[in-house]
Structure 1
Amino acid sequence: MSDIIVRRAQEADLDTVVPAFAAATADEVVNAWIAAAGPVPVDAYTAHLIESMRKHLRDDEVWIAERDGRIEGLSVWIQVASTERFHAEVEEIAAMAETMALPMLGRAETVMRLIAGAHPEKFPHLYLFSIAVVPEHRGAGAGGAMLKARLATAEQEGMPVYLEASTEDSARLYRRHGFEAIGDRLRLPEEGPTLIPMWRN
């Protein structure tokens, strides 16, 4: 088996990044809780995912783990100097939820509002917005490789890092990479998952 290559994706990678991200995040516990609220309009979801990933590739950092030319894992990192962006995104999804009356959008708003309200106001910092591995490649080192690569750069920059762990297993992984739990846990309603805010100096 060849080695994993970790690199920052570019806008030209959009067509391969989108399906890999969709596959990697489909069963993530928060996404699964949102989707369980009701039917997910496939065309609308796909269009939203494409536009969201295009924005991340343009404005943020999308790091991918590849092996033999195939994407095994993806992570989205945001440089944060203010929480204004997150609150603006909450209002955008709230407007969509009101217009389209889809239960899943209501749950998405709940998640985003909870996360935005709890986001630490220690600026600047790096925010690990999302990290996921394609199911058939889990356990082969892609997640750890992405973390190691971007955290090494953060250390060189003197940049602290924030994230919300969505499971106890993922929290243990982050602790091994120097993160510590901070503040109160974020509990989603309707038997939703509990998120664990974590910080790395």
Structure 2
Amino acid sequence: MTHLSTFPPPSPTAPRPVLRRARRAEAGALAALLADAFHDDPLTRWITPDPERRARVLPGLFGVFLDMSFAYDAVTCTPDLDAVLLWTPPDAQAELEARGEEFAGRFEDVLGVREAASLALIAELQASRHPVAPHYYASFGAVRGGARGRGLLGALVAEVLREADAAGCGAYAEASSPGGEASARGQGFVRLGEDIVLPDGGPRLRPMWREPR
């Protein structure tokens, strides 16, 4: 389960925020930031409907996702940990899928059998839509409440796009809202096929693709 909501592109006139790679020792603080940001997200509500349980399990869930990106030094943040972006470089998807059994066990430990099965369904639907071409995958992003509106997440995405462009690779993301799609388009993404629609009235994700520049 990976997606971005709204990430307005940084203003061309604003100074570029200072960004850096996160350290594994900061995983706990970043997991808490992501858990808070995604507590009321349609996807996490679909997986774990009970809000109190959701608050308990999300830090552990995001701890696993952080591990996935840390394996590739692919967690970018602001120095004060007010904003974070998880992403993966080309070829990571195949390697992570090869470790699927390991991660499935970890997700089940965090979520339990039923909710882990819901997560696995999302991951299966997403994997079926990933582009074949090598690409950078922008996944979870979050900004602390008091720091929102400063273009931090857009700056984090732009940093990954610069790396993708330097490598001559495309970038892929999934927008979870009309605002998210508009923000992605502002950074050069275009729609890639039909929406990913979850069953039983669940939310949808819009695959988005950006060619290298």
TM over 0.5, shorter chain: yes
1:80 is matched with which residue: 90, 104, 123? Answer: 90
CA contact (8 A) 1:60 1:77 kept: no
- The answer for the alignment partner of 1:191 in structure 2 is 201
Distance 1:78 1:121 in 2: 15
Corresponding residue for 1:7? 20
Contact 2:39–2:54, Cα closer than 8 Å, also in 1: no
Residue in structure 1 matched with residue 34 of structure 2 by the alignment: 21
The CA deviation string for residues 160-198 of structure 1, in whole angstroms up to 9 with x for no partner, is 101111111101000000000011210011221111111
How far is 1:131 from its partner? Answer: 1.6
DSSP 3-state at the match of 1:132 = strand
CA 1:48–1:121: 2 relative to 1, 3 Å: same
Deviations 1:121-180 (A, max 9, x none): 11x211112222223332221111112222122222222101111111101000000000
1:60-83 CA-partner distances (Å, limit 9, x unpaired): 4001134xxx32221111113274
How many residues are treated as equivalent by the alignment? 195
Structure 1 unaligned residues grouped into runs of 5+: none
When normalised by structure 1's length, the TM-score is 0.80
Aligned counterparts, 1:133-148, within 5 A: 133-148=143-158
| Paired letter, 1:93 | A
Contact 2:143 2:152 in 1 (8 A): yes
- The whole-number CA distance in structure 1 between the counterparts of 2:96 and 2:129 is 11
Paired residue secondary structure (1:161): strand
Residue 5 of structure 1: SS of its match in structure 2?
coil
Q: 2: CA distance between counterparts of 1:62 and 1:95?
A: 20
Judged with a 3 Å threshold, the aligned counterparts in structure 2 of structure 1 residues 104 and 38 are, in CA distance, closer, same or farther, namely: farther
Task: For 2:74 and 2:155, locate their aligned partners in 1 and report how far apart those are by CA, in whole Å.
Answer: 16
CA distance in 2, matches of 1:132, 1:107: 22
Query: 2:86 & 2:54 partners in 1: Cα distance?
Result: 24
Quote how far apart the aligned CAs of 1:101 are.
5.5
Provide closer, same or farther for how the CA distance between residues 38 and 94 of structure 1 changes in structure 2, counting only shifts above 3 A.
farther
Task: Tell me how far apart the structure 1 counterparts of residues 137 and 37 of structure 2 sit (CA, whole Å).
Answer: 19
1: CA distance, partners of 2:181 / 2:18: 24
Identity of aligned residues (%): 25
Deviating more after overlay: 140-149 vs 54-63: 54-63
Q: 2 CA distance for matches of 1:58 and 1:90?
A: 14
Quick one: which of 69, 74, 80 aligns to 1:56? Answer: 69
Look up the match of 2:159.
149
Partner of 1:108: 119
Q: Contact between 1:40 and 1:104, CA under 8 Å: does it hold in 2? A: no
Corresponding residue of 1:160:
170
Higher relative contact order (Cα pairs below 8 Å, separated by 6+ residues): 2
Match of 2:185 in 1: 175
TM-score normalised by structure 2 residue count: 0.76
Deviation at residue 110 of structure 1 after TM alignment: 1.4
Matched-pair contact (CA < 8 Å) for 2:89–2:136: yes
Name which of structure 1's ranges 57-66 and 41-50 shifts more when overlaid on structure 2. 41-50
Q: CA RMSD for the aligned pairs?
A: 3.0
Deviation at 1:86, TM superposition (A): 5.2
